[in-house]
Structure 1
Amino acid sequence: MDIRRPPLVLSAMSERSAPGSTSRPAMVAFIQGLRTLLLVTVFISTVLGSPAPSGSGMRVSLRQARSSSPRVANLAKVKASLERVRSKFSPQATDGHLDLTKRGAQPITDEPDGPIGIISIGTPPQEISVLFDTGSPDLWVTASTCAGDWCDQITAKRFDVSASSTARAQPGNWNISYGGGESAVGPVYTDTVTVGGVTVKDQYFSPATDETGVTGETVGILGLSLASISVLKQPPFLQHALQSNLLPSGILGVRLSPSAHPSGGSTSSSSSEAFIGGTNPALYTGALEYHPIDASRGFWEIPGGAVTVNARMVVRNASTVIDTGTAGIVGPTADVAAFWAAVPGAEEDEGAGGVYTYPCDAEVSVAFSWGGREWPLSAEDLNGGSFDDGTCLGNVIGLDLPSASNNQWILGTNFLHGVYAAFSLDDMAVGFATPT
């Protein structure tokens, strides 16, 4: 039986900002509350591994045009992204709830908060726009019955439980609240879910009937991390599909298009893709370099990382979470201070510890490694946008996380723009290759 399916292709949408600059006073006001926005508890250790290579699949590509206008620092977007990170990595169990202070490619749009793609739920299928998130395990979407000011601001299609003949109510309720004021509450259901041509029956999820803080084109989240931290206490979609013998391998391949160039320039196109059940060799060159994770925390975490700035290693033994649902890069304040000390002209913002600016015309080379190749961070992804004094906001931010070893980093979409990433359930490893 041929179980190959067409790839799910992600379109990556570049940020577009209006002309202008952000003043330093505005930045200081924002940053004063920044360090309360993230709480990440992680622990990992690693050894090099070599999962078997996956076969080919049919590739469908979507185009993305880079912005041709200069990009300015947008602190509101940074804040929104960090609030999501905090909520994701800070679980606390309370009364049975969790309060959070076929093979193919899925089209996703590389938004500031992470890659957005279309899945379908129910019978007949209803297409829903969700965040593809390797930093959380559960699937939830906004229900059509969701009411209130926040629900009214959602422009994308919501899920109608009553219109699905395969929707089945399950015991209990689902409740997530975010430290930034976001929340989602709803019943627990099972239904048929399709992602990139892979159809799983009886997938657990929640159609949220009450929420705050979610607007626009994103209706929910497709969690792609590990089952051990599931609020629903059920296998996430990828693991469920693998257990149901619907996939040739338990690998999720991810390619995110490069971000918009902060200084403008000519336009170009490239594709983004989430490949379910393997990797897409057409989107990378050479072999994937795999690094085993410690799955005890439920995240895709690689230990033993190193950070190099301008050919000098400034950080060793970094414990790294690889997360498609996070924008930017966060590390311990001491590590980040060492990072920016290697950049000529970089300064920590006064009264805003952990946030740095640097001369926009500075030449900076940055790379991450885990005992093998060095994986570069582009100048575009280091640059968070310009201010009116000729400096730029750094996308590497310092924050001490509440962990025993205090060496945790989160590598989000800014890092992932520069690699092809493979998340392997088969070998509990994350691999990287050079993208095409």
Structure 2
Amino acid sequence: MRFTLATSIVVLAVLAAAAPQPTGQGIGMAVPIIKRTSLVNADKSVNLDALKSHVAAFKAKIRRGFTNYEKNTGMKHPSDVGGVERRGAGESLTNDQSQLWYGSISVGTPAVPFTVDFDTGSSDLFLPGSACDSSCNGHTIWDPSFSLTSQDLGKSFSLAFEDKATVSGEQYNDTVSIAGFSATTQTLGAANKYSPGFESPQFPADGLMGMAFPSISSYGASPVFQTLVSDGSVSDQVFSFKLSSSGAELYIGGSNSALYTGDFTYSHVTHQGYWQVDMDNVKGNNKTILTNVAAIIDTGSTLIIGTPSEVSTLYNALGGKAAPSAGQGYYTFPCDSFPSISLTFGGKSFPIAASALNLGSVSSGSSDCVSGIVGQDIASSFWIVGDVFLQGVYTAFDVGNTRVGFAKLA
């Protein structure tokens, strides 16, 4: 079933009546978000196919970002080391968007509501368009012809994902609103084809909204939040996330002081594109094991993905065992005795809860569990710091001062 304009307007009316509205320019507002994950089987063992697909998706996303960066700036990204490890021909993967945090936006005039995956590791917004084939069934469809403010830019787009899958379509400008703030003349894509990983019910959100920097945009355009800033819709140039099983939200135009305690510890963005910062060190069992590690903060990743050599060094120091059944770069510990691991940013160490680090048993009934820090060649010299870490902190992305802040959850 495809959900069209008429049904969407009914939904919008209900949402508008219930949703709080900003009372003035720059007053931050929250967007409730929901987590969807399928990395664990019903018996609490790790879904290895989904785990490998998740990593493959991020290899493709990083490659896409590096390609866009070079296209947009004329320079190779400084963290692009090339030589990404290719998947073996005999290794079967499913194209599964297994992890996402999603919430609501609206597009067009009249405004139509959609759900999107909020991803700080990419920069573009796309939705299923009216010309989309059956691959978009089950999603709310965006029809630009019904919007008084849409403008066809006469440009196509094609976004590469894992296993040669793509999302492709036409670029438009239109008004995009989130939490009551509006970005006018926002570039977005109307997809005419979804790759299998974005089909419903594998991907419950309608589309994806990137929240990184313009230099990695496939459209060569400003992401939604930066458009809000340039339009003057928000005076506090910050958006913040609480990613946890209880009360998860995206906060637009600042941070929600009810959700964290104490002060933020900030790390400045070292290179705009991704939210790339310096990670001072990685500690294990209260000992410093790695130092001066570049990292990107990515709400679109479940895992922490590091370079194979550094991750191997970490696990060798902690007694982690390689997990051949899971694949190269995956490690296990006894399920009941995971080490204490913390990441240090801005001089402050933030612990990773064992419950977050432990993804689940390597197989049904096994006493060994897979760790959420994975060593993979993703063609970059930085680590990807995702949900395994982020669910334990409150995170502020400060566009105005190009920095990322972490605080203790309330």
TM-score range, shorter-chain basis?
0.7 to 0.9
Alpha-carbon distance in structure 2 between the residues aligned to 1:18 and 1:339: 27
Secondary structure of the structure 2 residue equivalent to 1:320 = strand
Distance 1:353 1:14, change over 3 A: closer
Matches within 5 A, 1:355-394: 355-386=330-361, 387=363, 388-394=365-371
Deviation per residue, 1:134-183 (Å, 9 max, x gap): 011111111132104x333xx23121222222211013211112232321
Point out which structure has higher relative CO (alpha carbons under 8 A, 6+ apart).
1
Aligned-residue identity in percent:
28
Deviation per residue, 1:106-150 (Å, 9 max, x gap): xxxxx95221111111111111111101011111111132104x3
Secondary structure of the structure 2 residue equivalent to 1:317 = strand
Alpha-carbon distance in structure 1 between the residues aligned to 2:331 and 2:33: 32
TM value normalised by structure 2: 0.81
Secondary structure of the structure 2 residue equivalent to 1:89 = helix
Deviation per residue, 1:231-253 (Å, 9 max, x gap): 21111111111011110211111
What residue is the counterpart of 1:105 in the other structure? none
Matches within 5 A, 1:15-414: 19-20=42-43, 71-91=44-64, 92=67, 112-148=98-134, 150-152=135-137, 155-213=138-196, 214-216=198-200, 217-258=204-245, 270-296=246-272, 298-344=273-319, 346-350=320-324, 352-386=327-361, 387=363, 388-403=365-380, 406=381, 408-414=382-388
Distance 1:5 1:338, change over 3 A: closer
Distance 1:332 1:14, change over 3 A: closer
What amino acid does structure 2 have at the position aligned with 1:243? S
| 1:7 pairs with one of 18, 26, 30 | 30
Q: Give the aligned CA root-mean-square deviation in angstroms.
A: 2.3
Alpha-carbon distance in structure 2 between the residues aligned to 1:313 and 1:18: 34
Secondary structure of the structure 1 residue equivalent to 2:163 = coil
Contact 1:115–1:131 (8 Å) recurs in 2:
yes
Distance 1:381 1:194, change over 3 A: same
Contact 2:59–2:379 (8 Å) recurs in 1:
no
Distance 1:13 1:19, change over 3 A: closer
What residue is the counterpart of 1:265 in the other structure? none
Please tell me whether residue 432 in structure 1 is matched to residue 387 in structure 2: no
Alpha-carbon distance in structure 2 between the residues aligned to 1:293 and 1:17: 33
Shift of 1:18: 5.1
Distance 1:160 1:361, change over 3 A: same
Distance 1:304 1:392, change over 3 A: closer
Deviation per residue, 1:414-436 (Å, 9 max, x gap): 11101100111111100000011
Contact 2:36–2:99 (8 Å) recurs in 1:
no
Shift of 1:13: 5.4
Of residues 308-317 and 71-80 in structure 1, the stretch that sits farther from structure 2 once superposed is 71-80
Distance 1:363 1:175, change over 3 A: closer
What amino acid does structure 2 have at the position aligned with 1:349? A
Secondary structure of the structure 1 residue equivalent to 2:173 = strand
Alpha-carbon distance in structure 2 between the residues aligned to 1:93 and 1:202: 21
What residue is the counterpart of 2:389 in the other structure? 415
Shift of 1:295: 2.7
Alpha-carbon distance in structure 2 between the residues aligned to 1:183 and 1:16: 22
Secondary structure of the structure 1 residue equivalent to 2:278 = strand
Alpha-carbon distance in structure 2 between the residues aligned to 1:141 and 1:389: 41
Distance 1:76 1:163, change over 3 A: farther
What amino acid does structure 2 have at the position aligned with 1:80? S
Alpha-carbon distance in structure 1 between the residues aligned to 2:68 and 2:212: 18
Contact 2:68–2:216 (8 Å) recurs in 1:
no
Distance 1:198 1:112, change over 3 A: same
Alpha-carbon distance in structure 2 between the residues aligned to 1:398 and 1:247: 39
Shift of 1:396: 0.9
Contact 1:295–1:428 (8 Å) recurs in 2:
no
Contact 2:241–2:395 (8 Å) recurs in 1:
yes
Alpha-carbon distance in structure 1 between the residues aligned to 2:106 and 2:334: 46
Secondary structure of the structure 1 residue equivalent to 2:209 = strand
For structure 1, the residue ranges without an aligned partner over 5 or more in a row are: 21-70, 102-110, 259-269
Secondary structure of the structure 2 residue equivalent to 1:189 = strand
TM value normalised by structure 1: 0.76
Shift of 1:365: 0.7
Shift of 1:275: 0.8
Alpha-carbon distance in structure 2 between the residues aligned to 1:218 and 1:328: 20
Distance 1:223 1:93, change over 3 A: closer
Contact 1:181–1:212 (8 Å) recurs in 2:
no
